[in-house]
Amino acid sequence: MTATTRPTPTASRAAWARKHLFRTPRDSVITVITAAVLFVIVWRTIRFVFFTGRWEIVRVNLGLYLYGRYPTDDLWRLVVTLVVISATAGLIAGIIAKRTRIAAQAAGTPLPGTSIVGRIVELAFRLWPVVVLVALLLLLSETITPTLVTLATVAAAIAGRLVGALLPKRATFLAFVLPGVLPVVLLPFLTAAQGWDDWGGFMLTIFLAAVSMLACFPLGLVLALARRSTLPAVRVIGVGVIEFFRGVPLVVLVLMSSVALGFFLPQSILPGKVVRVIVAFTIFTAAYVAEIVRGGLQSVPRGQTEAAQALGMSPFRVTGWIVLPQALRNVIPALVGQFISLFKDTTLVFVIGFLDVLSVADAVTKQSQFDLANFAEATAFASLLFWVGSYTLSRESQRLEQRLGVGTR
């Protein structure tokens, strides 16, 4: 972090510039050169975005980018899903906020109250890339419907947040139950119109990333515990699996999932292509998650285990109640980092012909009214989708890291 980025109220702008831009002659030269580079970059970017870029390619194919070839008659299913997810997220945020407030009051340090509007504005500033992206999508869309959908989603989130804060304390279990129940209800609802083997666009990307992440966490946990086990045979198996999958490129696993995995399974139970590639993502990411969790396990002082054993706890309870909770808290930021990697790595399904965001960007340049000269516009939009997602996630993870006080306790 740079020490100061903003002029203090007492110092004038000139004094600030002297200190941060022209402190020494060498500094001045650096500033001038950097400013020149920056000017060229900014100027070329502006020229591309506002003048030379031909954004019809994105405008015409916006739906393809976002939800692939999902049947037009069933788009309302996506809208319902979006609103439900957003309301649930709001509800959980409300429940957590209430619990935090109660805990703070009990500790004698009540949180300062801010108005609802103030908090919404603060959130919008914090999530500025998302806000910018949504605004951009609305600008690119041609009808009023997307605007209404956005408003409904935001309204659902706010309503969920307010309701969540009103719920009694014994409703806290909802925060754990709902994320589990939601996929079970929503997936059949979405696949009723189109099976996930035919999904595409950003919807497919999110689906692949979310399912792989959910599946790789338990597997990674088991692998990490196996690697730390005192039983030599179990440890060898753990080390072998982890090091094998960390040593090979993910692309090769993805290619294998489409071409070679079928040879290792009976043809009767061979799953569809999306499930197969999810298996590849899951195993690969689980190996990395295992290493992260192992780091967390190592960070828990031995005294914790010994104290638990002295209290007569069984090995399973020592691990489950004492070691794991502390270990996992320490590695949440690293796990989020791994999730971001996975989110970006879902683009690899491009090489096996899925219709994900990158494939859409590639495919639209082959439409008759566009050509390879439009490639920059098509991929720039795809990158923007990913950039907004992973930048926001990484910023939120940093915030979480600060709130959890990792490394300061």
Partner 1 sequence: MTSATTTADQRPPLWRDVRFLRVVLQVAAVAVVVAFGLWLWGNLQDNAETTNIPLGFDYLDQPADLTIPGSDFNQSQPVSDAIIVGLGNTVRVAGAGVVLATILGTLIGIARLSTNWLLSNLARAYVEVFRNIPLLIIVVFSYSAIFLRFPRLEDARTYGGVFLPSVRGTGTVWITTDDRGGAIAVVVLVAVVAAWAAARWRRGVQDRTGSPAHGFWFGIAAFLLAAVAGLAALGFPLGYSTPELDGRRIVGGITMLPEYAALLFALVVYTASHIAEIVRGSIQAVPKGQNEAATALALSSGQRMRLIVLPQAMRIAVPAIGNQYLNLTKNSSLAVAISFFELTKVTQVSIANRAPAVPSYVLLLAIYLTLSLILSSVVNVANRRLALVER
DSSP 345-371: HGGGGGGGT-B-HHHHHHHHTTSTT--
Among 249, 320, 353, 407, binds partner 1 (CB under 8 A): 249
- Applying the rule CB under 8 A, the residues between 204 and 223 that interact with partner 1 are none
Among 263, 312, 368, 403, binds partner 1 (CB under 8 A): 263
- Applying the rule CB under 8 A, the residues between 53 and 72 that interact with partner 1 are none
Find all residues with CB under 8 Å of 92, minimum gap 6, and list them.
160, 164, 174, 175, 178, 179
DSSP 102-127: HHHHHTT-PPPP--HHHHHHHHHHHT
- Applying the rule CB under 8 A, the residues between 305 and 324 that interact with partner 1 are none
How many angstroms separate the CA atoms of 256 and 263, rounded?
Answer: 10
State the angle between helix axes of 324-345 and 201-227 in degrees (0 to 180), rounded to the nearest 10.
140
- Applying the rule CB under 8 A, the residues between 336 and 375 that interact with partner 1 are 340, 344-345, 347-348, 350-351, 358, 361-362, 365, 372-373, 375
How many angstroms separate the CA atoms of 87 and 153, rounded?
Answer: 8
Among 357, 364, 320, 309, CA closest to 205: 357
Q: 326 or 391, CB closer to partner 1?
A: 391
Among 75, 394, 401, 404, binds partner 1 (CB under 8 A): 394
Give Cα 398 distance to the centre of its chain. Answer: 13
**Tally: H helices and E strands in the chain:** 19, 0
User: In angstroms, how far is the first alpha carbon of the chain from the final one?
Assistant: 21
CB 176 to partner 1: min, Å: 30
Q: 198 or 362, CB closer to partner 1?
A: 362
Interaction between residue 23 and partner 1 (CB under 8 A): yes
Q: 41 or 148, CB closer to partner 1?
A: 41
CB 231 to partner 1: min, Å: 5
CB 206 to partner 1: min, Å: 14
Among 9, 112, 180, 232, binds partner 1 (CB under 8 A): 232
Interaction between residue 198 and partner 1 (CB under 8 A): no
How many angstroms separate the CA atoms of 205 and 347, rounded?
Answer: 7
Residue type at 342 in one-letter notation: L
Q: 182 or 234, CB closer to partner 1?
A: 234
Among 11, 14, 15, 38, binds partner 1 (CB under 8 A): 38
Q: Please name every residue paired with 355 in a beta bridge, in sequence order, or none if there are none.
A: 200
Q: 124 or 265, CB closer to partner 1?
A: 265
Among 11, 14, 15, 30, binds partner 1 (CB under 8 A): 30
Contact yes or no for 290/218 (Cβ under 8 A): no
How many angstroms separate the CA atoms of 305 and 238, rounded?
Answer: 21
Q: 104 or 231, CB closer to partner 1?
A: 231
Interaction between residue 120 and partner 1 (CB under 8 A): no
Structure tokens at 261: 């995995």
Find all residues with CB under 8 Å of 134, minimum gap 6, and list them.
150
Contact yes or no for 333/406 (Cβ under 8 A): yes
Among 127, 136, 186, 251, binds partner 1 (CB under 8 A): 251
- Collapsing DSSP to helix, strand or coil, 128 comes out as helix
- Applying the rule CB under 8 A, the residues between 124 and 183 that interact with partner 1 are none
CB 353 to partner 1: min, Å: 11
List interacting residues with partner 1 (CB under 8 A): 2, 5, 20-21, 23, 27, 30-31, 34-35, 37-38, 226, 230-234, 237, 244, 246-252, 255-256, 259-260, 262-267, 340, 344-345, 347-348, 350-351, 358, 361-362, 365, 372-373, 375-376, 379-380, 382-383, 386-387, 390-391, 394
